[in-house]
Amino acid sequence: MSSQPTPIRVFTVSTSTAQFPVQVYPPAGTQLVEVPKIESAPDTRAAKIADAIYGHVQAVRALGRNEISVSEVARALGLSDADVMQALPLLRTKGVKAP
């Protein structure tokens, strides 16, 4: 009895009418080697999020609004509320007044 190889990648492909699970297996006879993951610096991600939030806040201010909630910003940029909250210290350094 041969054992089923472990998939190296599992994801879902979606169309407008259905979703299909897809599993990717290594070619037969291939020896897999684990490569260490190189993580991007968390400061880089946080800085990019802060820049996006800052741009959104500036656009909202240009429309005449002086206040915007964390959830509004998160919803507009497709971020979580936690991501927006974590960016507040960086935004304060740019002059954004936040609680």
Does position 50 have pLDDT exceeding 80, yes or no?
yes
pLDDT band per the 50, 70, 90 thresholds, residue 30? confident
Higher-confidence position of 33 and 93: 93
Domain limits, the chain: 42-93
Evaluate whether 32 touches 8 at the Cβ level (below 8 Å).
yes
pLDDT band per the 50, 70, 90 thresholds, residue 4? low
Return the pLDDT at 62. 92
Return the pLDDT at 32. 73
Higher-confidence position of 80 and 5: 80
